[in-house]
Structure formats: structure tokens, C-alpha cells
Amino acid sequence: MKFARRLNPGRPNLIAFKGSFHGRTIGGTSLSSSKEVHRKFYDPLLPGVNFVEFPNCYTGKYKEHSAERVLETLEQMFKSYLSPDSISAMIIEAMQGEGGYLPAPLKPINFLKELRNICDKHKILLICDEVQSGIGRTGKWFSINHYDVVPDVITIAKGLGNGLPIGGFCASHERMSTMPPASHGSTFGGNPVSCAAAYKTLEVIERDNLLDYVFKTGSEIIDHLAKELSTQANVRGFGFMIGIELESKEKVEKVKDECFKENILILPTGEKAIRLLPPLNIEKALLTNSIDKLINIIKKV
């Protein structure tokens, strides 16, 4: 938010998407709307954040939240009460994490490409939050790479340190150079141990060709899950970032408990979905065996 307002001075407003999660600081919380507990105790949050629906073409309940409808809503906002000249940035997850592992639609229209066009037209920065989905998780370095779109800013963390604490944001050298020395930083920023871990993580991903492995194996797993659970669940995702939406939150909890008994760790996300996040270098035999156990549990429960 600081960077966006630095690059677009005099534009106090931002656009974020419902179901999003961008962190637990006051700034990150102000941009998030995935769970009530993240926001309810911390009012007043920062002003100037405007939410629009995240397009959902995966479940019948949300058919009205098509990519076309969301884009129409944006244009209507611009015409009626929120001048695009007042907006410094839009921030989005190409694949929502806490919102239910929902990828932005690619068909019938490429939603992120349309957002890119809107941002270019109005000189609005496009920020992509890749904290959960980046660093090879979806079979590409960043989830937005699936959409053939280049954002103005990318945020990164989780997978970068492979368990050690490190995070950051990336932009062009020209844009980053607009931040004066000492205008931004953190107490433990640049920690040498975390930086060494991040460097080695990137090295191993390239050395072991993990992007191709994750994309191809993940595609096979997603197809297998969709076929086996065609009447029980909605399956979506890229690579090793897979969402399985079930019929109820109660069923999600039962599946989670049964999986734990089989030494399989899963985590709920969204209203009634589970997320699968296997290690990028997991052995294929172990992964397929775990997936088959999960399928049997879902069918049984």
C-alpha cells in the first residue's frame, strides 16, 4: 500500500477482492475479506479500500459472479462513485488462498488480462499477491504466469524461505528506485540465514526441474480427483495448489479428521473446501497413494 501510494500520489483508494487474504497487519487486514475473525476486533481499519466480487465460475451458487459480471461492476463503480483517477492500485490473488482455492477464470475470458487492460487504461497499478501461490507452487514461478499477464508489483513469502521467515515485494528497477533510502524496511529484513535458505530453495527448484514436475503431476492429480469425485466435489487448481469443494463445512471437518488418522494433513479453506499443498519435491508414489486414500475417505464420509 505504501509503494502504491508512493508511485501514484494523490490517489488514496485501492480495490481489493472479496474472499481475499493479504495478511494480518492493519494494512493487510484492511485489504482482506476472507474471514470475519481477521477484521472484527480491529476497527477502524484503513480507509480507501473498496471490495468487488472475485469471479467464481466453479460452483452453481456463485454463477452470478462471472468474470464478465465482475468487470461490468468495476466499470459501473468508475462511472457512478469511484473515479479511476482516485485509485492507486488493484490487489488480487490470481488464485485465492483463504477464499477457497479459486483460480481466476481463464475462459471464456482471461479475467486477469482484462484487469490488466483496465489498469493500463486508467494508470492503476496491478499488484499480485503471490505469498501462498508463488515460487513454483502452481507449476510456474508465479500463479499469474498461467494468465500471460505481467503485474506491476508481486508480493512473495511462504515458499521462498522453505520454512524460514522471509518475504518481500518485487517491481521493476525503475519503480523500486522511487523509494528513497530509509523510507521502507523492517527490523529483521535481509536476515542472512533466511536469505541463504531462499537462495538455495530457488537453486533446487531450478536444478531439479520442479516447475515441470509440479505442473505435469499436479495436472494428472487434478484430473484424477475430478474424475473420481465428479458427483461429490468440485476440484480446481494448478500444480500442487489444489482445492476440493465439498457439500458442507461439516463434511470438510469430518474428512480432515479421517485424513489425520491416515497421516494425511489437509486444511480447510473458503466456506466448504479443503486445500492440498504437497511439497514440490514429493515422491510421485507417495503423492498418488495419499490422493487415493483421500478419495476413499471423501466417498466414505
Task: Please report the pLDDT score of residue 57 as a whole number.
Answer: 80
Task: Please report the pLDDT score of residue 61 as a whole number.
Answer: 55
pLDDT in tens, 171-225: 999 999 999 988 888 999 999 999 999 999 999 999 999 999 999 999 999 999 9
Pairwise CA distance, residues 52 & 62, whole Å: 14
Task: Please report the pLDDT score of residue 85 as a whole number.
Answer: 96
Task: Please report the pLDDT score of residue 109 as a whole number.
Answer: 92
> Which segments of the chain belong to CATH 3.90.1150.10?
210-300
pLDDT in tens, 265-280: 999 999 999 999 999 9
> Which segments of the chain belong to CATH 3.40.640.10?
2-202
Task: Please report the pLDDT score of residue 301 as a whole number.
Answer: 93
Considering only CA atoms, which of 230, 241, 238, 225 is closest in space to residue 275? 241
- 197 phi and psi, to 5 degrees? -65, -40
Q: Which long-range contacts (CB under 8 A, 24 or more apart) does 200-203 make?
A: 200/162, 201/135, 201/159, 201/160, 201/161, 201/162, 202/135, 202/160
Task: Please report the pLDDT score of residue 65 as a whole number.
Answer: 78
Fold of 210-300: Aspartate Aminotransferase, domain 1 (3.90.1150)
Q: Which CATH code is given to the segment(s) 2-202?
A: 3.40.640.10
Pairwise CA distance, residues 287 & 160, whole Å: 22
* Residue type (1 letter), 96: Q
pLDDT along the chain (301 residues), means of 10: 93 97 94 90 94 85 77 95 97 96 94 98 98 98 98 97 95 94 90 97 98 99 98 96 97 98 96 96 98 98 93
The whole-model pTM stands at 0.94
Euclidean distance between the first and the last CA atom of the chain, given in angstroms as a whole number: 44
Task: Please report the pLDDT score of residue 63 as a whole number.
Answer: 59
